[in-house]
Amino acid sequence: MGKFMSLVKSKFGKINYKQYVRTNILFFTTAISLLVNAVLIRTTTVGNVLELKPILADFAIILVLLCPAYLLKPKKQIIYFTTVSIIMTAICIINSIYFNYYSSFASVSLISTSLQVVNVADAVTENLMQIRDFVYLWQPIVVLFVHFNLNKKNYYRIVEKIERGKKRFLGTFITGTILIAVFFSTLTALEIGRFSNQWNREFLVMKFGIYTYQINDIVRSLEPRINAVFGYDEAARKIREYYEENKKEVKTNKYTNMFKGKNIIMIHAESIQQFVMDLSFNGEEVTPNLNKLADEGLFFSNFYSQVGVGTSSDTEFTLNTSLMPSTNGTVFVSYWDRQFITIPKLLKQQNYYTFSMHGNKGDMWNRLVMHKELGYDRFYHKTDYVIDEEIGFGLSDKSFFRQSIEKIKKIDADNEKYFGTLLMLSNHTPFDDLLKYGEFPVDVTVNITNEEGVVEEVTRPYMEETVMGNYLKSVHYADSAIGEFIAGLEEEGLLENTVIVIYGDHDARLPRKDFVRLYNYDPYTDELKDEMDPTYKVVDYYGYELNRKVPFIIWTKNKKLNKEVTEVMGMYDVLPTLGNMFDFRSDYQLGNDIFSVDENVVIFPNGNWLTKDMYYNHQKQEFKLLNDSAILSQEYIDKYSKIANDKITVSNNIIWFDYIRKSKESEKILETYKN
């Protein structure tokens, strides 16, 4: 270390700090303003504004990124500083917009996924982009302003006489490198592990800063491609060890093979959350049809979607494979050429005809390709329907269901048994086709005694003219469409040997403030209750997350099951649960048959997890107890955190390395060799 410092001293000698600052005004302006933006985006997203480590990390990265400017003449350095400023500002803006919708941060690996936004541009501009997302633009403006002022004062001519570019480049680079080394020396083993894994983006930005995260993301985005060539053997070993260690005895229960051989029609209910099933306005339920089906069938009341950035496509993937969404890219777009064990493929082994239907463009989320890869014999999409009524981004749900019944009639006539998935569309953000949803006021009427002592009937707006209010109108329409579809199937005699499965694909990303209004509005005062009111319901982070659950219903006309299943359940549990009832199983399923598990855990792609006793926030390493009588310990947290890490890692490896295909090819080669 002494020799190193002597070398530095000999190279740089004594530094005149006053002169150094005076002749580096543009450099310091750019560096400090970039650092302010980094702190600002953390403040508006993950919120840890005062933590020193991410500030140190971001500042070190800024120094390393800016130092090449010294290799240019002083007057030309503005080109480099402006370019870096624009890039870094764009990073902040993109991540701010992205966080508004996904509660996570953007990734280079998601560039192809982000192109899907073209198909829902209205939703982005109306619901996602906010003025605060563009506040970061001040930074390049300030840099240019300072440059023009310096230029007027002949600043650059003075600097040219003093500055030694290579010397300053090397000094700044070494300073940045030392700061990076100091930063990493402060990290714990847990933080280094998460930095390496990369799949909890919120944690990385919180602890490492936005610029450090983004650079690490670029490196990690290339890793699956590199590993696909060089890392397969190690990944395959881990996958085999995981399934060997977690080998489960196949249990039977009263639902085993209950529906074997019956037709299955799945309804993919776009953006329908479960809380809407508990709401009524003016005595009219928001979802009377879903409520009826839930009462008569199997209703899973603690069911959660597990989507990442792929939203609906992630749900389709996870439900059909019992794997987790990829934490790097989206399977439907980035890994469509992999082989998976899926519900359609497993049912085809039982001679089912498999199909999917959707009223939107077939290339949305690459479904034209991916539905074939999932094992559907036929994908009916927008070109297969008469677009006689549009709501939102495509054919209205009522017309879609009405026309689909005609197609299902033919499928029923031509096939002994079938499995079909119908993807709804009308209840898609931005929920603004109010005139087409039909009349459903989300106001409230109360009797109020006026100053003269006369009782008056007064109608309050309640949820009218809010995002949630519009959403509830949209949900009511979607529920009505489902009711008409079930009635239409009954009229055509298509329910006699058929099981209906309904699931909400993901939450609607509704504003938290609308939940506050929903639960705390006082119609008598036409205001929100005071937070000190004992009936006031706090909608904090955990309340919001737990309210994101979606409906999952299994219903059949001829067998009224009348049961509510309260065990927590995720989308990856659908394949094993239906598999128990219809007699199929995947060797790679990560979920559980909900009727055969003692305690289930729902794992989310960001590493958070949920049991009946706890919701654990992986990024903050904190939790919310859900059961006051539960005896919890660090061992409990460690146990389920390890389960979450293992399942996410194994699922990623299966996807990234195309493990299922390659393992089958290896088995064939081995079998050929034996013979």
The token pair that represents 215 in the structure block:
């650079």
* Omega before 74 within 30 of 0, i.e. cis: no
* Per-residue pLDDT at 28 exceeds 70: yes
Q: Where are the beta strands (DSSP E) in 560-617?
A: 563-565, 569-570, 602-603, 609-610, 614-617
Q: To 10 degrees, what angle do helices 232-245 and 210-230 make?
A: 90
pLDDT at 465: 95
pLDDT at 188: 80
Rounded CA-CA distance 256/275 in Å is 30
pLDDT at 309: 81
Q: Which residue has the higher pLDDT, 197 or 560?
A: 560
Report the range of poorest mean pLDDT among 94-108, 344-358, 496-510.
94-108
Q: Which residue has the higher pLDDT, 130 or 502?
A: 502
Among residues 425, 520, 432, 444, the alpha carbon closest in space to that of 473 is found at: 432
Q: Which residue has the higher pLDDT, 481 or 153?
A: 481
User: For residue 54, what are the contacts with CB-CB under 8 A and spacing of at least 6?
Assistant: 38, 42, 48, 205, 206, 207, 208, 209, 210, 212
Rounded CA-CA distance 300/365 in Å is 28
- Residue 112's pLDDT band, with cuts at 50, 70 and 90, is low
Rounded CA-CA distance 98/94 in Å is 6
- Residue 129's pLDDT band, with cuts at 50, 70 and 90, is low
Range 220-228 average pLDDT: 66
> Mind listing the pLDDT tens digit for each residue in 494-523?
999 999 999 999 999 999 999 999 999 999
Rounded CA-CA distance 459/442 in Å is 10
* Per-residue pLDDT at 109 exceeds 90: no
* Per-residue pLDDT at 199 exceeds 60: no
Rounded CA-CA distance 374/322 in Å is 12
Report the range of poorest mean pLDDT among 9-18, 267-276, 322-331, 481-490.
9-18
With beta carbons less than 8 A apart as the criterion, state whether 640 and 627 touch: no
pLDDT at 18: 64
- Rounded to the nearest angstrom, the gap between the alpha carbon of residue 164 and the centroid of all alpha carbons in its chain is 49
> Mind listing the pLDDT tens digit for each residue in 442-482?
999 999 988 788 888 999 999 999 999 999 999 999 999 99
Rounded CA-CA distance 55/36 in Å is 9
Q: To 10 degrees, what angle do helices 634-656 and 659-674 make?
A: 70
Rounded CA-CA distance 39/602 in Å is 33
User: For residue 635, what are the contacts with CB-CB under 8 A and spacing of at least 6?
Assistant: none
Compute the 3-state secondary structure of the chain and give helix, strand, coil in percent, each to the nearest 5: 55, 10, 35
Helix H segments across 415-466?
Answer: 434-437
Range 33-45 average pLDDT: 92
The token pair that represents 202 in the structure block:
């919120």
> Mind listing the pLDDT tens digit for each residue in 646-672?
999 999 999 999 999 999 887 776 666
Report CA dihedral (40, 43, 46, 47) to the nearest 10 degrees.
Answer: 160
- All domains of the chain in start order, with CATH: 2-230 (no CATH), 248-597 (3.40.720.10)
Strand order in the sheet with 602-603: 602-603, 609-610, 614-617, 622-625
Rounded CA-CA distance 74/72 in Å is 6
The token pair that represents 614 in the structure block:
């706890």
pLDDT at 250: 85
Rounded CA-CA distance 180/57 in Å is 6
**If you average pLDDT over each of 11-20, 118-127, 155-164, which comes out highest?**
155-164
pLDDT at 121: 46
Range 146-173 average pLDDT: 81
With beta carbons less than 8 A apart as the criterion, state whether 353 and 377 touch: yes
> Mind listing the pLDDT tens digit for each residue in 398-415?
999 999 999 999 999 999
Range 154-159 average pLDDT: 77
Q: What is the DSSP letter of 77?
A: H
pLDDT at 1: 46
pLDDT at 30: 94
Q: What is the CA radius of gyration of the chain?
A: 29
User: In terms of C-beta density within 10 A (0-12 exposed, 13-18 middle, 19 or more buried), how is residue 258 classed?
Assistant: middle
Token match 């990493």: residue? 184
The total of other beta-carbon atoms located within 10 Å of residue 674's CB is 6
* Per-residue pLDDT at 318 exceeds 60: yes
CA distances from 31 to 15, 67, 75 (A): 20, 10, 17
CA distances from 583 to 261, 320, 347, 381, 577 (A): 9, 15, 9, 29, 10
Range 178-185 average pLDDT: 90
Q: Please state the length of the chain.
A: 675
pLDDT at 8: 47
Range 375-389 average pLDDT: 96
Residue-by-residue DSSP string for 239-254: HHHHHHHT-------T
Range 161-187 average pLDDT: 85
Report the range of poorest mean pLDDT among 126-135, 370-379, 484-493, 628-637.
126-135
pLDDT at 78: 92
Token match 């006793």: residue? 613
> Mind listing the pLDDT tens digit for each residue in 589-623?
999 999 999 999 999 999 999 999 999 998 888 99
Rounded CA-CA distance 529/240 in Å is 56
Range 221-237 average pLDDT: 75
The token pair that represents 142 in the structure block:
């300030």
Range 391-396 average pLDDT: 92
What is the amino acid identity at position 557? K
* Per-residue pLDDT at 230 exceeds 80: no
Task: Give this prediction's pTM.
Answer: 0.81
Q: Which helix (H) or strand (E) holds 355?
A: strand 353-358
Separate counts of helices (H) and strands (E) for the chain: 27, 22
Q: Which residues pair with 521 in a beta bridge?
A: 528
- Rounded to the nearest angstrom, the gap between the alpha carbon of residue 559 and the centroid of all alpha carbons in its chain is 36
With beta carbons less than 8 A apart as the criterion, state whether 272 and 427 touch: yes
Rounded CA-CA distance 439/643 in Å is 47
The token pair that represents 411 in the structure block:
């499928």
pLDDT at 499: 98
The token pair that represents 141 in the structure block:
């403006």
Rounded CA-CA distance 444/596 in Å is 44
pLDDT at 48: 72
pLDDT at 334: 84
Averaged pLDDT score across all residues of the chain = 89
* Per-residue pLDDT at 15 exceeds 70: no
* Per-residue pLDDT at 117 exceeds 60: no
> Mind listing the pLDDT tens digit for each residue in 56-96?
999 999 999 999 998 888 888 899 999 999 999 999 998 88
Among residues 200, 66, 278, 100, the alpha carbon closest in space to that of 606 is found at: 200
* Per-residue pLDDT at 111 exceeds 80: no
pLDDT at 454: 83
Among residues 265, 252, 313, 257, the alpha carbon closest in space to that of 553 is found at: 265
- Residue 213's pLDDT band, with cuts at 50, 70 and 90, is confident
The total of other beta-carbon atoms located within 10 Å of residue 167's CB is 13
Query: Can you tell me whether residue 257 is helix, strand or coil?
Result: coil
